[in-house]
Structure 1
Amino acid sequence: MNFVLIGAGGHARVVADIIALSGGQVVAYSDTMQAEWLSAKRYESDAEAADSHPDAALALGFGGVSPATLARRRATLNADWADKRMWPNLVHPDASVARTSELGRAVQIMAGARIQPGAKIGDGAIVNTGAIVEHETTVGDGCHIAPGAIILGDCIIGEATMIGAGAVVLPGTSIASAFLLPALTRYPI
């Protein structure tokens, strides 16, 4: 499958690796600066990159939960040019996703991550390298679970929250949304 990568920073390198390991190829990307590590055609605008390959799937190539990143993530997933396009979930071959877990759209599960039975991962969320999301936990839209973080069972992680590297969230904990952006979108994240 061909992909257009929206963004080309450090997180995009990991996403491009998952795409390659899954037999896909990045055919275009958007970024204002040349990504020397990526041989695909560069476009300065997200829409132009996506329009250059209308049959390619789209993948988010930027991580983090700063207000600017969250606004871009939300705008990208809801842009007219992105509406009705494929936003497949990207799961590293060395990750484990239980069959009874639920993944939203454009979810990224990195190497060594574990998603246990009954867990729900929201749209555009990132479960980074070696992170664990235990049973019956809900991770909200746009969250970033950093490398090595462990979220134990029956937790609720609110929209757009970052759980830091190596953090442990104890069972039954609820964490409110980190950013409350205006709900002006068709798909909340």
Structure 2
Amino acid sequence: MADLVVATALRIERFALRRGLRGVPVIAVGMGVRHPSRLALPPGAALVVAGVAGALVDGLAPGDLVVDDRELALSLRGNGFTVHHGVVADSDHVVGSAERSELAARTGALAVDMESAGVLALAGDRPHAVVRAIVDTPSRPLLGPATLGGGITALRRLAAIGPVLRHWADTKVKEVRQ
């Protein structure tokens, strides 16, 4: 039985994450969780929702990670990644520059995506976490010349975090089984 399942939105995110997670199910559920039926969750497995996101606040850079689970954030930071522990807001659309500050103020979130909330609604009481690599920021909007570089940086970061995700899941699943 797998101790970890990783859900992502896009196939390119899935490709990046699978590079560091051989043997772990990495499932693309589509933007906005268009295909929830693809998400097969074995009993007892931990769930990580991972992929790219947009920063809502200044101080985050492309490739930085936003993680909602404190233990996982500390573990990633201890392995040399730039990590911000905090909330990832949910949106049903790509958030433009004008909306970022309002969404951050209303939710207290550091980043925004379109899938995490929908996937986590399927998690039940299993261990779960959200890990998002930043592509765009308030000063580097998604529809700009820096997007390609930010995207490549974020995908490389996702490809590198696999061993830490696996260790976190193993620890969490053992805690639940005890």
**What's the TM-score once normalised by structure 2's chain length?**
0.34
Name whichever structure is richer in helix by fraction: 2
TM-score of the superposed pair, with normalisation by structure 1: 0.32
